[in-house]
């Protein structure tokens, strides 16, 4: 099965969806957004790296020598397939199956940003010396907090098609960098 990039991509897609639904079923609480972000930042990149390595390594064992292009393609294709299928599935799930989960994620996204803004404000305010600096900071803080008012965030949707397109573009950059690494590492060196 490791010899077929499409099979590797599909298995990686299944693993990705297992991670997504594990977070959905076991971490759907007040920390759902944070848990999702941690999984996307650490677990999924590790999973994709392992799958790319296994895919390229199996081809290296089969052929003996690989060009950069062969190793790059062998790493990139399964990740691309899994990533595309995962993005489509997660988009469909959040936008058509369980829109409450999408609303929860959007709400927690806004709340997290408000909390981070307040923490930065308090830290900055504590180190300011003059009253003028503090007043300017207070004014900027109040202005920034207005962007989180209910009227401003009611139509905020971080999980619409446009945002998913941006997410996928960022993920493609990761796939390209990782594939370049594997292409460079696994390519056969020819001595002249």
CA distance 68 to 73: 8
Q: How many helices (H) and strands (E) does the chain have?
A: 8, 0
Find the length of the chain: 192
pTM comes to 0.81
Instruction: Say how many C-beta atoms besides its own lie within 10 A of residue 51's C-beta.
Output: 22
Q: Is residue 56 part of a domain?
A: yes
Task: Determine contact, residues 52/78, Cβ cutoff 8 Å.
Answer: yes
User: What local confidence, expressed as pLDDT, does residue 104 receive?
Assistant: 85
Q: Is residue 162 part of a domain?
A: yes
Task: Express the helix, strand and coil content of the chain in percent, nearest 5 each.
Answer: 85, 0, 15
- Considering only CA atoms, which of 9, 1, 3, 6 is closest in space to residue 57? 3
First CA to last CA distance, the chain = 36
- Considering only CA atoms, which of 42, 33, 41, 35 is closest in space to residue 110? 33
Q: What is the pLDDT of residues 133-170, one digit of tens each?
A: 888 888 888 888 877 777 766 777 888 899 899 999 99
Q: Is residue 191 part of a domain?
A: no
Q: Is residue 17 part of a domain?
A: yes
Task: Determine contact, residues 108/32, Cβ cutoff 8 Å.
Answer: yes
Q: Is residue 91 part of a domain?
A: yes
User: What local confidence, expressed as pLDDT, does residue 192 receive?
Assistant: 41
Q: Is residue 101 part of a domain?
A: yes
Containing structural domain, residue 44:
5-186
Q: Is residue 179 part of a domain?
A: yes
Q: Is 31 helix (H, G, I), strand (E, B) or coil?
A: coil
> Both tokens of residue 31?
């920390």
Res 190 pLDDT > 80: no
For the chain, percent of residues with pLDDT exceeding 70: 95
Q: Is residue 192 part of a domain?
A: no
Cα radius of gyration (the chain): 22
User: What local confidence, expressed as pLDDT, does residue 84 receive?
Assistant: 95
> How many domains would you assign to the chain?
1
């Amino acid at each position: 099965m490791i010899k077929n990039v499409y099979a590797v991509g599909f298995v990686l897609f299944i693993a990705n969806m297992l991670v997504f639904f594990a977070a959905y079923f076991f971490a759907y609480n007040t920390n759902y957004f944070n848990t999702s972000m941690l999984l996307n930042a650490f677990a999924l990149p590790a999973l994709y790296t392992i799958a790319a390595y296994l895919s390229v390594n199996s081809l290296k064992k089969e052929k003996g020598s690989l060009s950069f292009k062969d190793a790059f393609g062998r790493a990139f294709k399964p990740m691309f397939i899994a990533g595309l299928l995962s993005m489509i599935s997660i988009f469909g799930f959040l936008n058509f199956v369980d829109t409450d989960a999408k609303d929860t994620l959007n709400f927690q996204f806004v709340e997290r940003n408000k909390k981070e803004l307040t923490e930065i404000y308090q830290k900055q305010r504590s180190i300011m010396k003059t009253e003028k600096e503090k007043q300017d900071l207070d004014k900027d803080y109040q202005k920034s907090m207005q962007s989180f008012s209910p009227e401003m965030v009611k139509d905020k949707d971080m999980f619409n098609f446009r945002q998913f397109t941006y997410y996928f573009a960022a993920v493609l950059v990761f796939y390209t960098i990782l594939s370049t690494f594997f292409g460079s590492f696994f390519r056969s060196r020819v001595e002249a």
